[in-house]
């Protein structure tokens, strides 16, 4: 008899916050299959559609998984990477959607957003202290913006700290690097419990993603009154602008203690370690706190990155942030509050240049400050 035709003799529910890939690999092991992907294969053989079993986007896949595992489709969706789609996909984009067997329509992430905002199953992050408690992969370790375990208040680790090889989710379940044999549960951690600013940023981000309870912002950290997808997109634009800095920037957040503040160069997703992600997103958080003053301070500082030009032209001063984000990605009506804040900044800092910008013709704020 073909192994893949055998039923699952051992079934168990997802562990707290367990990711769907972790659940499927764990059940393969608990059922004694030689291949850790056997449950995935069994499910795939039951499908008549093309779909990823570990990142399912079709109703039929959820139905097959629910029947095979005897776990509700809603619970399986909550364990999947797609649970973050409602936050990660911003206006004007509309997330793809699928319908679960019970009729509930849920958003799913397209490949572009998966590549941009999440770590693949072959390049996993982990918290050693979580693995000491129970060795499995947590779903909230998958987003790029998440760099801290809020339970243990330490930085996550991406890749094996001994041999630097990427870790697969199977490695996380074994709590052992398959390349060098390192016990991942014994890997040293970087404690960030004393860093109130960095932790607040991570709590904010993870609350938007729905993996922790939201916290009330301090009075001096007031955020724009906007929904999570808009704030997440705003933060992500600032993060990408920071990555464009070539060598140095005094505005960059300096974590206390033993978190390395070395960041640049950091030009691609592959360069981003948990420590770098922590610095990038905490620095970006400074740009949306105490709105709009924090945003204006960010713009002031951004003009002084690397070797600032003496021309004082907005295109040169703000470069990528202006051209790609303010003039393009944040042009949707959902980001009008950003455009208004920026127009006030232009009016205060670029009285001559702003009068020549095309945006001045359409902006009531800019138009009120200039003669035709």
What pLDDT score does 85 carry? 97
Q: Are strands 154-155 and 148-149 parallel, antiparallel or unpaired?
A: antiparallel
Question: What tokens appear for 165 in the block?
Answer: 């090889």
**CA 145 to chain centroid:** 3
**pLDDT computed for residue 219 by the predictor:** 46
Q: 């789609």: which residue's tokens?
A: 85
- The pairing of strands 105-108 and 125-126 is unpaired
Residue 9's pLDDT is 85
What is the crossing angle of helices 274-286 and 228-243, to 10°?
A: 110
Residue 212: the pLDDT is 85
Calculate the CA 322 to chain-centre distance: 22
Q: Residue 118 pairs with which residues in a beta bridge?
A: 143
CB 235, CB 281: distance < 8 Å: yes
Instruction: Give the integer Cα–Cα distance in Å for 90 and 219.
Output: 27
CB distance 333 to 354 below 8 Å: no
Q: What is the predicted pLDDT for the residue at 215?
A: 62
Per this entry, what is the length of the chain? 372
Q: What are the structure tokens assigned to 225, written together?
A: 């009154």
- CA 288 to CA 295: how far, in whole Å? 6
Task: Report DSSP state, residue 226.
Answer: -
State which residues of the chain have pLDDT below 50. Answer: 1-4, 217, 219, 352-355, 371-372
CB 142 within 8 A of CB 113: no
Report, in this order, helix, strand and coil percent for the chain, each rounded to 5. Answer: 50, 5, 45
pLDDT of residue 277: 96
pLDDT in tens, 109-151: 999 999 999 999 999 999 999 999 999 999 999 999 999 999 9
pLDDT for the residue numbered 186:
97
């Amino acid at each position: 008899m073909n192994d893949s035709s055998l039923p699952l003799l051992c079934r168990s529910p997802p562990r707290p916050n367990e990711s769907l890939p972790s659940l499927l690999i764990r059940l393969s092991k608990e059922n004694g299959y030689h291949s850790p992907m056997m449950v995935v294969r069994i499910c795939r053989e039951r499908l008549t559609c093309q779909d990823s079993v570990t990142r399912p986007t079709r109703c039929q896949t959820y139905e097959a998984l629910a029947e095979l595992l005897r776990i509700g489709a809603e619970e399986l969706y909550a364990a999947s990477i797609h649970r973050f789609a409602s936050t990660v996909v911003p206006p004007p984009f509309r997330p793809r959607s699928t319908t679960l067997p019970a009729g509930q329509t849920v958003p799913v992430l397209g490949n572009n957003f998966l590549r941009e905002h999440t770590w693949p199953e072959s390049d996993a992050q982990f918290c050693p202290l979580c693995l000491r408690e129970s060795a499995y992969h947590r779903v909230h370790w998958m987003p790029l913006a998440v760099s801290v375990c809020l339970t243990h208040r330490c930085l996550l680790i991406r890749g094996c700290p001994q041999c630097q090889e990427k870790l697969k989710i199977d490695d996380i379940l074994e709590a052992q690097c398959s390349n060098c044999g390192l016990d991942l549960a014994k890997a040293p951690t970087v404690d960030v419990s004393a860093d109130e600013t960095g932790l607040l940023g991570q709590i904010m981000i993870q609350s938007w993603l729905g993996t922790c309870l939201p916290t009330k912002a301090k009075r001096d950290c007031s955020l724009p009154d906007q929904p999570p997808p808009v704030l997440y997109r705003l933060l992500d634009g600032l993060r990408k602008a920071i990555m464009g800095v070539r060598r140095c920037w005094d505005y960059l957040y300096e974590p206390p203690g033993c978190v390395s503040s070395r960041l640049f160069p950091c030009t691609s997703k592959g360069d981003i370690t948990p420590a770098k992600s922590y610095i990038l997103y905490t620095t970006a958080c400074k740009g949306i706190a105490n709105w709009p003053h924090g945003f204006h301070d960010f713009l002031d500082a951004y003009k002084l990155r690397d070797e600032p030009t003496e021309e004082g032209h907005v295109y040169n001063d703000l470069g990528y942030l202006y051209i790609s984000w303010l003039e393009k990605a944040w042009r949707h009506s959902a980001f009008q509050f950003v455009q208004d804040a920026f127009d006030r900044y232009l009016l205060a800092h670029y009285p001559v240049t702003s009068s020549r910008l095309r945006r001045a013709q359409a902006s009531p704020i800019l138009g009120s400050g200039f003669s035709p």
